[in-house]
């Protein structure tokens, strides 16, 4: 009996060859460049959920998957990694990072003070 499983998702470039080597037939299609950003962002959401759900000893693997998707997104958009890292460092120098776990609950301002939006 044949079992069909539908995925409808972006997968790593080597997956078709891996499936073929296992004797699994797969229907694949190439995503149009104009649609790739949508599927990369969708994949990023999928990988982020997998990170959330992963056991502690699998977190590094899920982070590697997220990094791979981010790298593919940068390449697709033509943005050099160095540029993103420079922006990251500038923001960190100006506003700090996220390592300390600062959680903003609320702000209270006098009515004559305008909030900075960033």
Q: Mind listing the pLDDT tens digit for each residue in 61-98?
A: 999 999 999 999 999 999 999 999 999 999 999 999 99
Q: Quick check: is 97 in a domain?
A: no
Per-residue pLDDT at 27: 96
Residue 3 placed within a domain:
no
Alpha carbon separation from 116 to 13, 45, 91, 110 (Å, rounded): 44, 29, 15, 13
53 assigned to some structural domain: yes
Instruction: Report how many domains make up the chain.
Output: 1
Dihedral through CA 28, CA 5, CA 9, CA 62, nearest 10? -120
Within a domain: residue 109? Answer: no
Assign residue 31 a region (left: φ > 0; alpha: ψ between -120 and 50; beta: otherwise): beta
Indicate whether 90 belongs to any domain.
Answer: no
- The pTM of this model reads 0.83
In a domain, 118, yes or no: no
Instruction: Between 80 and 115, name the one with better pLDDT.
Output: 80
Residue 2: the pLDDT is 84
Q: How confident is the model at residue 48 (pLDDT cuts 50, 70, 90)?
A: very high
Structural domain boundaries enclosing 32: 15-81
Residue of 67, 75, 73, 71 lying closest to 51 (CA atoms): 67
Q: Cα–Cα distance between 9 and 1 in angstroms, integer?
A: 25
Flag whether 32 is in a domain. yes
């Amino acid at each position: 009996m044949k079992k069909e499983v539908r995925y409808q998702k972006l997968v790593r470039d080597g997956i078709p060859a891996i499936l073929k080597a296992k004797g699994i037939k797969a229907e694949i299609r190439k995503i149009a460049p104009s649609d790739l950003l949508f599927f990369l962002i969708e994949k990023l959401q999928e990988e982020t959920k997998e990170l959330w759900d992963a056991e502690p000893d699998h977190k590094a693997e899920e982070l590697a998957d997220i990094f791979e998707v981010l790298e593919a997104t940068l390449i697709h958009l033509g943005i050099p990694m160095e540029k993103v890292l420079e922006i990251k460092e500038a923001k960190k120098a100006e506003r700090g990072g996220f390592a300390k776990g600062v959680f903003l609950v609320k702000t209270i301002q006098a009515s004559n003070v305008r909030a900075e939006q960033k």
